Chain A
Amino acid sequence: MKSRMAVALLALLGLFISTYLYLFKVGLIGTIACGTGGCETVQLSPQSRFLGVEVAAIGVAGYAILLGVALIALNRRFVAERWPVLLLAGLSGGAVLFTAYLKYLEFFVIRAICRWCVASAVIITILFVLTVVELRRTRTAPSV
């Protein structure tokens, strides 16, 4: 249960980070706190859009869905259900793959590091590991 709670908290944190990046991209918050200048480079690069959609907006939507599913997984009606955890694992697994692709672009194509994007990558990786742990726990949990 604690892993589901941690997943919800991480999804909320990721949601705020991606919202921050999206607000910067659409010009609502002026400058971005980054320290290296890499955030601006990455956010203003052509690679900051994926199939015509802002990557930050994909992050907002992705983390919002993960948060929603994590809250469902925590709901007393679904505590004993396995499907919310399966869904979380599938979504976060896909997000990890997408993040790996974005990291490749950051390191080898744009050649700039966005610290907020790195923070998001760390969050989604931990979130995925936690859902896998939770998945294994629900598989082996004795029926009550």
Chain B
Amino acid sequence: MASPSRVATKKPSAKTPPPAGAGRFYLLLGGAAVIGIGILAYLIFRPKEVSIPADVSILASDTAGFRGYVMGSDSAKVEISEYADFQCPACGSFEILQFDVVKRQLIDSGLVRWRYRDFPLPQHKYSRLAAHAAACADDQGKYWPYHRALYDNQGNWSFAGSATGLFRTYAGQVGLDVAKYDACMTSAKYAPRIKASMDEGTKLGVASTPTFLIAGRLYRGVLSSDTVAAIARAAAAQPTQ
């Protein structure tokens, strides 16, 4: 007879009855396994949230001479570079309230060439994603309509739990091939270019958005269309060296 401190020594047998509640336990375990596998499968196959990395190495081939999105004539006398962030409310305000007038009076008239540079501020959750989405729209020749769609809807996506789906919706609305857009976003191929744009702005002294570079000088904050026109005309009147 075994002492109480020793192992129970009953010979195990295939005929030993199953432990009480074993049926219910295996049902519970199987159910939990099915639910868990289902959740993991859903996570693997659901449409993915896209993330655009901030810390990337920039190779010469990444920028390949790219220096922003340009609107206007090559022969314009004045070039204005706007360092902006799609999620910055001040940039949105400039785009919605001032840019149309600037375009009509200065760009369309051939006086000004506009160069939009990405400067996604780190405190804005979706800035880089928006800048990348716009770069993907540029791939399909629809940069400016997409750019405008982002600013027009800034109030919606800025505070959304996820902006990926909304950006995709805007892609469809401006007429992008959404499959190509998806592939471009998933590749995050423009992340280095966005970082290069930001690095270039930082070197120039850009620290906030929007910041305008006009004739070698930086102008910080939202400028009215009248102010932009006055500065541009003054710059155009200066003799070229």
Contacts and interface: CB of A to CB of B under 8 A. Distances in A.
Contacts of B43: 20, 23, 29
Interface stretch (A8-16, A49-57, A114-122): A8-16
Contacts of A13: 32, 36
A2 B50 CA distance: 44
Contacts of A5: 21, 25, 29
B47 to A, nearest CB: 9
Interface in B152-191: none
Contact of B16 (A2, A20, A76, A139): A76
A79 B7 CA distance: 12
B73 to A, nearest CB: 43
A79 B25 contact: no
B40 A140 contact: no
A30 B48 contact: yes
A79 B12 contact: yes
B40 A79 contact: no
A139 B5 contact: yes
B6 interface: yes
Interface string A15-31: 11001100100001111
A79 B48 CA distance: 45
Interface in A109-144: 138-144
Contacts of A28: 44
A76 B13 CA distance: 7
B7 to A, nearest CB: 4
Interface string A66-90: 0000000010111111100000000
Contacts of B50: 30
Interface residues of A, number: 31
B20 A80 contact: no
B4 A142 contact: yes
A140 B5 contact: yes
B49 interface: yes
Contact of A144 (B5, B10, B39): B10
Contacts of A80: 8-12, 16
B14 interface: yes
A110 B67 CA distance: 38
Given A12-B33, A16-B36, A76-B14, A82 B44 contact: no
A74 B5 contact: no
B40 A19 contact: yes
Interface of B: 1-2, 4-14, 16-22, 25, 28-29, 32-33, 36, 39-40, 43-44, 48-51
